[in-house]
Structure formats: structure tokens, C-alpha cells
Amino acid sequence: MKLRLELDLGDGPIELLAGTYALVAWERRHQGRVFDIADGLGLEDLCFIAYEACKQAKVVVPATFDDFCKRVESVQPRGWVMPTPIRPAASDDATPSSLS
């Protein structure tokens, strides 16, 4: 699962996808679970996830989170991107007639 974000650091908005690493980093920092944030994210939460997502996407950001926050003009969540469900493989005991 990924969180789609719109971020503006003063150069116009960009779209980011915060993937597993950014979300795990948020969980570690806040001692919480991503699945428990359905009630909403605070501004610091969004900024932290965006900060980690920027680093993963090789967007140049300040060395410290606080300096990053000073540059954020706006950050907006744009929804969750859920993984495509995995379809089970055909079983090994399938006969050719059952596969047609």
C-alpha cells in the first residue's frame, strides 16, 4: 500500500507516492501503526511521510526534518493506493481437460 501525496516546497506542487519505507519510518517515529491512522493524519505526520518519500524519490531535501518543514508550502493527502490482489496459481493437480 502507498499513500499518494501532493507536496509544494515553493517550486510548485509535485505528486509523491509514499511507499513501504516511508510508512514504516512513520510507524517507528510515532510508535503507531499505519492501519490505525484512519481517523486522520496530522500535519507533522504528513510532512514526515512526505520527507521520507522525497528522499526515496531522490528529491533534494534539507538534511533535517525541521528544515524540510520550514520549506513546505502545502502538503495534501490524495488517497491510498492499494496493491493489486494476487491471483492464486493453478494447482499442480489440474488436469488438461480442467484447464480448457
Asked whether residue 89 is domain-assigned, the answer is no
Domain hosting 61: range is 2-83
Quote the pLDDT of residue 99: 54
Asked whether residue 79 is domain-assigned, the answer is yes
Quote the pLDDT of residue 38: 62
CA–CA separation, 47 and 42 (whole Å): 9
Render pLDDT for 44-66 as a digit per residue (tens, 0 to 9): 999 999 999 999 999 999 999 99
Render pLDDT for 1-39 as a digit per residue (tens, 0 to 9): 899 999 999 999 999 999 999 999 999 998 888 887 766
Number of compact structural domains in the chain: 1
Q: Among residues 56, 52, 82, which one has the least CA distance to residue 69?
A: 52
Question: What is the pTM for the complete model shown?
Answer: 0.79
